[in-house]
Structure 1
Amino acid sequence: MKKNFLISIFSIFIFISVTMLWIANTYNNLVKLNENIKTQWGQVENVYQRRVDLIPNLVNTVKGSANFEKNTLSQIIEARAKATSISINTNDLNQNQINKFQQVQDHLNKTVSKLLFIVENYPNLRSTKNFYELQNQLEGTENRISVERNRFNEKVNNFNTYRNQFPKIIIANFFYQFKEKGYFQSQIGSKKPPIIDFSN
């Protein structure tokens, strides 16, 4: 009887130990995947910031044209201010937060695209060296934004897939920082990144 009791106690001890090791391993994997998302979010913010930093140079270059539409420049300055004022908590990258960030950035992109479209009526402005260099930098930045957003979505997919598997979801639901993360999504009617084209 005593031997059976010891075997039972030992079995319970082994079961608890294995369970605790599994919980610790799951937690550590969630931490690693979550940190990967935070790191990639930093990259996303970095490329968006690069675009925001280019805009004052673009506006200043365009201001040199005496008859250029002042209203368009004001809209860009306002959209840039909104884009720089939004801040996202990296511990709460849910779909709603990502959508807010994306909406503000898309608005900025539309105002810049409008400016570039209007610039086509100013051939002297289009031919300047500064404007040409800004064109290349904006095109490169838009490509970087697309690449970093795709990488972010991959990291989010890895995290969400791991955390939503049973029984890992039970552990994940105990901790706020392991809530399901949001994705960058295509806007309705947009299947490709914006095209910035100065040649016509």
Structure 2
Amino acid sequence: MVVMLLVLLALIILLLGWFFFAYNSLVRLKIRVDNAWSQIDVQLKRRHDLIPNLVESVKGYMAYEKDTLERVIKARTQAIDAAGIKDKAQAENLLTQTLRSLFAVVERYPDLKANQNVLSLQGELTSTENKISFARQYYNDEVGRYNTLIEVVPTNIVASAAGFAKRDFFEIEDKTEREAPKVKL
């Protein structure tokens, strides 16, 4: 009888130990996913901060291209206001498209193509796009690990009991977005 109680007590301790280990693993991955998202958010904010400077730099040269500038500003505002991973990804994809159209228009203005301020801002935006790409990859890797741990047996039991929910990937929806932006000045 005593042996049976000791075995039962050992089994309970083992199960509790496993539960805490699984729970802590989930918490660690959740924190890593949150950190990865904040890295994307930092780069997106940097991108959003650069865009008004670029628009102001090209505004004087592009009097006839007011529509393009307004679309860039509108897309930037939507990207800033977007909530949630999917909405943020869609808004950022639209912003990338409008920036591409702005850069295409810039190519038609020889004086603007030679402007050092515009060249500098485009260089910073390109650098920021690269950082966003790396941050997005890291985030998606962490989300993949986290979502896998939530779905595999036996940690799915702990995840379900503790209320851990799957996270969305930060995906590019438009196939043209899968290509790196090419800026020619």
Give the TM bin, normalised by the shorter chain: over 0.9
Give unpaired runs (5+ residues) of structure 1.
Answer: 89-97
**Match in the other structure for 2:67:** 71
| Inter-CA distance 175–29: structure 2 relative to 1 (3 Å threshold) | same
Q: 2:142 aligns with which of 155, 164, 168?
A: 155
| Inter-CA distance 43–189: structure 2 relative to 1 (3 Å threshold) | same
Q: CA RMSD in A?
A: 1.5
Provide the rounded CA distance (Å) in 2 between the counterparts of 1:195 and 1:66.
22
Q: Answer yes or no: is the 8 Å Cα contact 1:142–1:193 preserved in 2.
A: no
Provide the rounded CA distance (Å) in 2 between the counterparts of 1:27 and 1:148.
26
Q: Answer yes or no: is the 8 Å Cα contact 2:72–2:95 preserved in 1.
A: yes
**Match in the other structure for 1:108:** 95
Q: 1:48 aligns with which of 23, 44, 48?
A: 44
Whether 1:35 and 2:31 are equivalent positions in the alignment is yes
Provide the rounded CA distance (Å) in 1 between the counterparts of 2:172 and 2:70.
27
**Per residue, is there more helix in 1 or in 2?**
2
Instruction: State the structure with more CA Rg.
Output: 1
- TM-score (normalised: structure 1): 0.87
**Match in the other structure for 1:95:** none
- Give aligned pairs, total: 185
Provide the rounded CA distance (Å) in 1 between the counterparts of 2:154 and 2:62.
66
| Inter-CA distance 13–161: structure 2 relative to 1 (3 Å threshold) | same
Alpha-carbon shift at residue 66 of structure 1 (Å): 5.4
Q: Deviations over 1:104-161 (max 9, x none)?
A: 1111111111111111111101101101101111111111111000000111111122
Provide the secondary structure at the position in 1 that maps to 2:178: coil
**Match in the other structure for 1:197:** 183
Counterparts of residues 172-187 of structure 1 (less than 5 Å): 172-176=159-163, 178-187=164-173
Alpha-carbon shift at residue 175 of structure 1 (Å): 2.5
Whether 1:164 and 2:151 are equivalent positions in the alignment is yes
- TM-score (normalised: structure 2): 0.94
Provide the rounded CA distance (Å) in 2 between the counterparts of 1:191 and 1:61.
25
Q: 1:62 aligns with which of 58, 62, 80?
A: 58
Q: 2:123 aligns with which of 125, 133, 136?
A: 136
